[in-house]
Structure 1
Amino acid sequence: MTVSNTSSSTGTGSATNVSGGGSAIANNFDQFLTLLTTQLKNQSPLDPLDTNQFTAQLVQFAGVEQQLKTNETLGSLLGLSAASTATNAVGFIGATITAEGTTARLKDGAASWKINAPRGGSATITIKNSTGSVVQTLTRNLDAGDQTYKWDGKTSTGVNAPEGDYTISIDAKDTTGQAMTAKTQISGVVDGVDFTSSIPMLKIGTISVPIDKVKTVVRGQ
C-alpha cells in the first residue's frame, strides 16, 4: 500500500507540472524526461506503468515543446513583418497616392473624387462636412467605368464652404432604374504616417488612409 500511495502522489505531481509548466517545456525539456524516469522508478511493482502510456506521455511532451518553439518562431516572423511594413509605409511620404475612400480635402475652392460605375446611369451625390452635416446635394449622369467628380465648394445655398475635409456618398441607378454601387477613390500627397493602429495609416493632411487601401502610387519627377 505504501508503494501504491507513493505512485499516486508522484502521478499527481507530474500532472501538475505538465499543466502549469508550459514555458518550462520549451526551456528545459530534460526536466520532463527526468519526471518520467522518476515516475518509472516509483511505480508499483504490482501495477507497473504501461509502456504505451509512457510512450504517449513522451510524445505529448515532445509535441508541446515543438508547438511552443513554433509559436516563438511565428512571433519573430510577425515582428519582422511589422518592421518591414513600417519601413514600406515611410517610403510613401512625398508620393501622390490614389486609394479607396470617400473623404477628400476642400482647398482653394476645389475637391475631387474618382468614381467608378459598373454601368451608365445617374446618381444623387451628397456631400457632408466633418461634423456630418449635409452641405450639398445634386444629381449628375454617370458613365460606365472611371470618371472624376470635381466639387467647386459651393453649398446648396450657393455660398462657399470653408476649407476642410468633406465626405461624399453616391446613390446610383443604371439606365433601367436598378440600383448599383459606384465606388469612390481619393488622391493626394502623403505627408506622414500614423503607426498607432494595427495597420499603418498614411496621412494626407488630416485624412487617414489605410496602407492596404492604396491603389496607385506616383512620385514627382
Structure 2
Amino acid sequence: MATTSAISNETKLILAAQDSAQAAARSSTSSTSSSSASTANSALSSLAKNYTTFLTLLTTQLQHQDPSSPMSTDSFTTQLAQFTGVEQQVETNEKLSSLISLNESSQLNTASDLVGQTATATTTSLPLQNGSASLSFTGTSGESVAIAVANAAGTIVKNDVVTASSGTNTWTWDGKDNSGNTLANGAYNVAVKTIDSAGTTSDVTFTVNGTITAVTKGDSDMNVEMGSVTVPMTNVSNISSKSSSSSSSSTASSSTSGSSSTTGS
C-alpha cells in the first residue's frame, strides 16, 4: 500500500507540474503587455489635440461674437490663461519625453557591458541556450519536487521528479525531450511543484538562469534577453560572469531517468 501511495503521489505531482507549465504557455501566448510609454505618448497626443481644439474654438468665438455685446475682459483673460497653460504643458511633456529618451539611451550603453554574463531571473520562461538550461529553487532535505517543461504550443516536452537537498537546488536540462530527442534552442515554459504528506501539491518558487545576449529598451524599463527569453531588468536578481559562477558539490537524487540533473547546497 505504501508503494501504491508513493506512485500515486508522484503521478499527481507530475500532472500538477504539467498543468502549470501548460498554463504558463497559454498565458505567454495570449498575454499582451501594457505599454506605459505608448500610454504617455497617447496622453501627450491627446493634450496636443485639446490644445489645437481650444485654439480653434477661441478664434471661432472671437470671429462670431456679437460686437454689441462682446466677451467680458475677465472671461477673455481666463480663456487666454487656459490657452497658455495647455501650450506650456505640451512643451513640458515633449521636453520630458526627450530627457527620458536620452536617459534610456545612456542606460543602454551602460547595460551593453552585461552581454555575455549569466543572469538569474524570476520568470516562467526557461531559456534553452546552446542545448542547456537550468533553474534554481530552495528545498528541504528529502522533499519531492517535480519540474515540467512545455514548448510554445503548450505540449509537455520534459518532466522530471527529483528529491531535493536542503537549501538551494539547481536543476539542469540538456535540452532533450522525454524520448531523448534534442530540441531546438528557444524559450520554453516551466513549472516547479512539490507535494506534502497529505497529497496536496503547491508551487515552488524558482528562478531561471541564462546567458545575457542583449539588453533592450522596454515600454517602462530595460529588458534583458537570454536567447529567446525576454525579462524586465527588475525581474533579474543576480548577474555574474561565467568565470565567477560555480556549481555546488552535493547531488540530489532523481526519481525519473533522463539527462537532467539536480544539485543542492
What TM-score do the two structures reach when normalised by structure 2?
0.53
What is the aligned counterpart of 2:240 among 212, 218, 221?
A: 218
Deviation at 1:143, TM superposition (A): 6.3
Return 124-133 or 61-70, whichever deviates more: 124-133
Deviation string 1:174-221 (CA, Å, 9 cap, x unpaired) is 4554443323322233233456x6455434344444433221111347
State whether structure 2 residue 83 is matched by structure 1 residue 61: yes
The one of 104, 107, 113 equivalent to 2:127 is: 104
Cα distance change on mapping 1:63 and 1:21 into 2, 3 Å: closer
Q: Conserved in 2, the CA contact under 8 Å of 1:89 and 1:211?
A: no
Aligned to 1:182: 204
Residues 117 and 181, structure 1, Cα contact 8 Å, conserved in 2: no
1:87 correspondence with 2:109: yes
Aligned to 1:14: none
2:52 counterpart letter in structure 1? G
Between the aligned partners of 2:199 and 2:110, the Cα distance in structure 1 is: 44
SS in 2 for 1:150: strand
Q: Deviations over 1:6-52 (max 9, x none)?
A: xxxxxxxxxxxxx8863997xxxxxx9xx7xx88xx842xx353233
Q: 1:144 to 1:49 in 2, by over 3 A?
A: farther
Letter in 1 for 2:185: G
Q: Please report the RMSD computed on the Cα atoms of aligned residues, expressed in angstroms.
A: 3.9
Q: CA 1:69 to 1:24, structure 2 compared with 1: closer, same or farther past 3 Å? A: farther
The answer as to whether partners of 1:193 and 1:203 remain within 8 angstroms in 2 is yes
Distance 1:81 1:148 in 2: 37
Contact 1:98 1:185 in 2 (8 A): yes
C-alpha displacement of 1:53: 1.1
Q: How does 1:1-221 map to 2 (within 5 A)?
A: 22=52, 43-44=67-68, 47-101=69-123, 102-105=125-128, 107=130, 111-116=133-138, 121-129=143-151, 132-142=154-164, 146-151=168-173, 155-157=177-179, 159=180, 161-162=182-183, 164-165=185-186, 166-175=188-197, 177-194=199-216, 198=219, 200-219=222-241, 220=243
Match of 2:17 in 1: none
Output the CA distance in 1 between the equivalents of 2:193 and 2:50.
58
CA distance in 2, matches of 1:106, 1:55: 66
Pick closer, same or farther for the CA change 1:161–1:24 going to 2, 3 Å: same
How many Å separate the matches in 2 of 1:53 and 1:139? 76
Q: Which protein is richer in strand relative to its size? A: 1
> How many angstroms apart in 2 are the aligned matches of 1:48 and 1:194?
57
Q: Which residue type is aligned with residue 102 of structure 2?
A: L
Question: Identity of paired residues, percent?
Answer: 28
Give me the whole-angstrom Cα distance separating, in 1, the residues matched to 2:152 and 2:71. Answer: 73
Distance 1:177 1:85, change over 3 A: farther
Match of 1:28 in 2: none
CA distance in 2, matches of 1:126, 1:73: 48
* Residue in 1 that maps onto 2:30: none
Task: Quote the Cα distance in structure 1 between the aligned partners of 2:189 and 2:114.
Answer: 23
Q: Is the Cα contact below 8 Å between 1:93 and 1:192 reproduced in 2?
A: yes
Separation in structure 1 between the aligned mates of residue 51 and residue 158 of structure 2, nearest angstrom: 64
1:155–1:69 Cα change, 3 Å: closer
Kindly indicate whether the alpha-carbon contact (under 8 Å) linking 1:127 and 1:137 is maintained by their aligned counterparts in 2. Answer: yes
